[in-house]
């Protein structure tokens, strides 16, 4: 499973002109289930992300987690994180899990973040979404359950 995590001061996702998910300070998490992933991969990443100390403490150092600051998570499915750009100019996405598997793993990942007592908003799996954010820092971190 792959995640691109962005520390945000606010973020939202819109489908068909309507905001379906919105947070203030917290994390925008773009998620891609990869071929061969299982729920354990999502659990591993959820636990790691919930403890990731990338928010400022009183001294301005990145020393607090999203839980520590009372932040929220906006979790958006994004199969394009599986892009293979090793050949030619058109990325391939065959490394992404099949849509039916991807949806189940995405939903489980969101549930795992909720189990960790984090407020979670989501996008809509498979929809054409418009994501707006104010990246705080900017801080953007790539995570892969295989790494």
Q: Write out the catalytic residue numbers.
A: 78-80
Write out 61-129 in H/E/C secondary structure.
Answer: CEEECCCCCCCEEEEEECHHHHCECCCCCCCECCCECCHHHHHHHHHHHHHHHHHCCCCEEECCCCCCE
């Amino acid at each position: 499973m792959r995640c691109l995590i962005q520390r945000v001061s606010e973020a939202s996702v819109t489908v068909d002109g309507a905001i379906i998910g919105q947070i203030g300070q917290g994390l925008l998490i773009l998620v891609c289930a990869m071929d061969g992933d299982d729920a354990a991969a999502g659990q591993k990443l959820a636990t790691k992300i919930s403890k990731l100390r990338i928010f400022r403490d009183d001294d301005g150092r990145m020393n607090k987690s999203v839980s520590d600051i009372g932040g929220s998570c906006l979790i958006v499915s994004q199969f394009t994180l599986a892009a293979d750009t090793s050949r030619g100019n058109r990325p391939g996405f065959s490394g992404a899990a099949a849509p039916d598997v991807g949806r189940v793993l995405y939903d489980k990942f969101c549930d795992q973040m909720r189990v960790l007592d984090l407020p979670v908003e989501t996008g809509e799996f498979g929809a054409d979404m418009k994501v707006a954010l104010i990246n705080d820092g900017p801080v953007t971190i790539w995570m892969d359950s295989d790494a």
